[in-house]
Amino acid sequence: APTVDREFRLGRFNQIYAHLNLICHANSCDLIDLESAPDLTLLKRAIEHVIDRHPMARSVQYQRGVILGWRHLAKRLPIEIEQRTSINVDPVRLRAELLDNAWRERVPVRDGHPFRFIYTRTPDRHILQILTSHTFTDGKAAQLFSGDIAEAYGHLAAGRPLDPEVVDLQERNHDRLFLSGLGWKDALRLAWKGVT
């Protein structure tokens, strides 16, 4: 595992989305319908384990002038699982409540790791929402992150050892995928078209 902080400047494409995230909330959300109430102590341990395994998950955003980037920290910051109780059994009202969880607040970027964990208990459901900042990750990476947490929780609940291997994922650079060979005017026009 790295023993020092490492900085990575965001590419042009993600610079635009990161700045838009300062205006609106660019959150992604995985929703997991649990079979029963989770052991929140074990769940927190599972989350911490996954963050420790993935150095890129120990990130906070930095800004120098108008340039944004990620600082991958050598050690994880404290995390919390937010707990909610809902009396809504009507699916439409509950859906609105869960959407509010996902979109009302921006996922931390500069003052914390770029995710939130919200456990909601209703009269007949147990729901875990894992929110990530879309400027930090993409849908595939968020899904893998959620899957790793579920796997670690299952191991802890069964008394099995956790996988200690550190998985240092490669930096995702959307510029190489989408903007190779484009000038900045065309890149800005396409990015604006994508959000309007």
For residue range 54-76, list pLDDT tens digits in order.
877 888 888 888 888 888 888 99
For residue range 75-87, list pLDDT tens digits in order.
999 999 999 999 9
Q: Are strands 27-34 and 59-64 parallel, antiparallel or unpaired?
A: unpaired
Q: Which two tokens stand for residue 165?
A: 């291997």
For residue range 31-57, list pLDDT tens digits in order.
999 999 999 999 999 999 999 988 778
Average pLDDT over residues 9-19: 74
Angle at 159 between CA 154 and CA 163, to 5 degrees: 65
Whether the full predicted model's pTM is greater than 0.95, yes or no, is no
DSSP states of 65-107 as a string?
TTEEEEEE-SSPPP--EEEEE----SHHHHHHHHHHHHHSSPP
Tokens 């609105």 locate to 96
